[in-house]
């Protein structure tokens, strides 16, 4: 569920400023395809932040003022208990990191293990930050870590399938610049 727009507006403005004044100019020097893929990855990260951690700036003063709920370490507990929306949550968590598994190798040239490990680290970061920023409103779950990492794995497989297409796109974008 998305937070109210007024709560996330400062976060969105900060992301906009960072992109336009820090990254955009630097990435453009790398070539059209590098700029395109990095911008897509940045937009992807902004969307992930929107759905998982925002509002961040509003919550920063609250860090440490509420108890930290530990991570649920029983895999697929919600699903096993037949909780409402458990299957939907599993699907969404896998789906969330598929774009990361596709885009990361395009930007960094990471191979399979690097991409899957980076997916694991991204998911772990989100899971550890959610209760820190949002207290009892958000919890961490090992199931999310597993399903997000699976999404990164599936994204890398999709990257391999799309590799001929992305190579053509890369050549076309870079030819357009010259």
Spatial CA neighbour of 59 closest among 117, 137, 153? 137
Res 4: pLDDT: 86
Q: Is the pLDDT of residue 1 over 70?
A: no
The per-residue pLDDT of the chain, averaged, comes to 93
pTM above 0.85, yes or no: yes
Q: Which residues of 20-44 are buried (b: 16+ CB within 10 A; e: fewer)?
A: eeeeeeebeeeebbbbbbbbebbeb
Q: Is the pLDDT of residue 136 over 80?
A: no
Half-sphere exposure of residue 57, counting CA atoms within 13 Å on the CB side? 10
Q: In sequence order, what are the residues at sequence separation of 6 or more whose Cβ sits closer than 8 angstroms to the Cβ of residue 143?
A: 72, 75, 76, 77, 78, 79, 90, 93
SS3 content of the chain, % helix, strand, coil (to 5): 75, 0, 20
Give tens-digit pLDDT for 68-105. 877 899 999 999 999 999 999 999 999 999 999 999 99
Percent of the chain with pLDDT over 70: 98
Give tens-digit pLDDT for 105-117. 999 989 999 999 9
Percent of the chain with pLDDT over 90: 79
Residue 139: phi, psi to the nearest 5?
-125, 165
Q: Is the pLDDT of residue 177 over 70?
A: no
Res 66: pLDDT: 82
């Amino acid at each position: 569920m998305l937070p109210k727009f007024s709560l996330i507006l400062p976060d969105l403005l900060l992301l906009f400023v960072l992109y336009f004044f820090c990254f955009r100019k630097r990435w453009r020097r790398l070539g059209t395809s590098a700029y395109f893929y990095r911008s897509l990855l940045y937009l992807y990260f902004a969307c992930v932040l929107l759905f998982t951690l925002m509002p961040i700036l509003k919550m920063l003063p609250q860090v440490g003022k509420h108890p930290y709920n530990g991570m649920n370490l029983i895999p697929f507990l919600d699903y096993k208990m037949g909780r409402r929306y458990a299957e939907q949550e599993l699907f969404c968590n896998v789906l969330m990191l598929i774009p990361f598994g596709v885009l990361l190798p395009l930007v960094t040239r990471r191979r399979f293990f690097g991409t899957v490990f980076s997916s694991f680290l991204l998911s772990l970061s989100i899971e550890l930050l959610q209760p820190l920023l949002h207290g009892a409103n958000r919890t961490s779950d090992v199931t999310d870590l597993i399903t997000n990492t699976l999404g990164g794995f599936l994204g890398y497989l999709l990257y391999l399938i799309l590799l001929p297409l992305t190579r053509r796109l890369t050549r076309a974008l870079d030819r357009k610049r010259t």
